[in-house]
Structure 1
């Protein structure tokens, strides 16, 4: 079954379905479903902050999504790409959707001249980690990820 990849903006006819899948993604990770707030947030991130949303379609329906963001690579005076979100509808998993989305993100990063593409994932997500390793992603040596909560 072929997978079509489509870049979606708030003006795109597929945006409502993509926002619904993004809301499913949030719910999958334990956040309360809020389709209206999710669609508004996603639209703002795309229009104001440059988030890119790509949706994988199977039979015309969203099967998965990936969001990416271009960031400065200051020391090299270039840019890097960050994969922020990757989600595949549980009914569509193990069908190559995640791989197609990741390969697309890598190709897009190359096209824009990015020096690297990075992502974060949970330590226990073995299936995702295996895919990322197959695609050439490696842990960053001597780098700790730190965060500070500003609001709860």
Structure 2
């Protein structure tokens, strides 16, 4: 066995000390929320929605009421990367999307779409016929996502509701008729 000359080792110094590219993180797992997720859901909601985040007690009550339609993206390392929450009514076969979020570092990877497709499929299996949601009119990415899933403005006024959440807090109200057929985004 011969030793490699020192000069050759020094020539490879850059190769040995150069930072290797970080591997892509594994895709998060989409699953139903659990009671143990509540602290992490509160952190996630505050991170994404900031001053508009749900208070912890309300997240708890929403979990108690709508656990079947409260889905999360679990990265497997103890952090949630997104969630969707749908609230349903018992008598009208009606539902509202009460929250959809994905962390900033995981956006533009189709995760919001995955969350929505799964919750809409679960709502359809539960007999829900109509789903509504509100979105900030300036949130172009969210509006495009919802429109691509088949949501349309609820009339009158093209879905625009001025002061919906209070003064100067306008929202678009969008609606999707689930019907009986398979979910076809963009129909």
CA distance in 1, matches of 2:29, 2:75: 7
In the alignment, structure 1 residue 93 sits paired with structure 2 residue 116: no
What TM-score does the superposition give when structure 1 sets the normalisation length? 0.75
* 1:66-121 Cα shifts (integer Å, max 9, x gaps): 1110025xxxx641111011111111111111101111111111011101111110
CA distance in 2, matches of 1:101, 1:135: 12
Which residue matches 1:84? Answer: 98
Check whether the contact 1:21–1:89 (CA below 8 A) recurs between aligned residues.
Answer: yes
Which residue matches 1:14? Answer: 37
Q: Out of 49, 54, 57, which is 1:40 matched to? A: 57
Q: Out of 81, 89, 92, which is 1:71 matched to? A: 89
What TM-score does the superposition give when structure 2 sets the normalisation length? 0.62
Q: Which has the higher contact order (CA 8 A, sep 6+)?
A: 1
Taking only aligned residues, the RMSD between alpha carbons, in angstroms, comes to 2.6
Check whether the contact 1:20–1:39 (CA below 8 A) recurs between aligned residues.
Answer: no
Say which one has the larger Rg: 2
Q: Out of 108, 111, 117, which is 2:122 matched to? A: 108
Alpha-carbon shift at residue 16 of structure 1 (Å): 2.1
Runs of 4+ in 1 over 3 A off after TM superposition: 49-52, 143-149
* Runs of 5+ consecutive residues of structure 1 not aligned to the other structure: none
* Residues 1:22 and 1:148: Cα distance change in structure 2 (over 3 Å): closer
CA distance in 2, matches of 1:106, 1:133: 14
Mean CA deviation greater in 50-59 or 93-102: 50-59
- Count matched residues: 136
Check whether the contact 1:109–1:116 (CA below 8 A) recurs between aligned residues.
Answer: no
CA distance in 2, matches of 1:124, 1:133: 14
Helix, strand or coil for the counterpart of 1:2?
coil
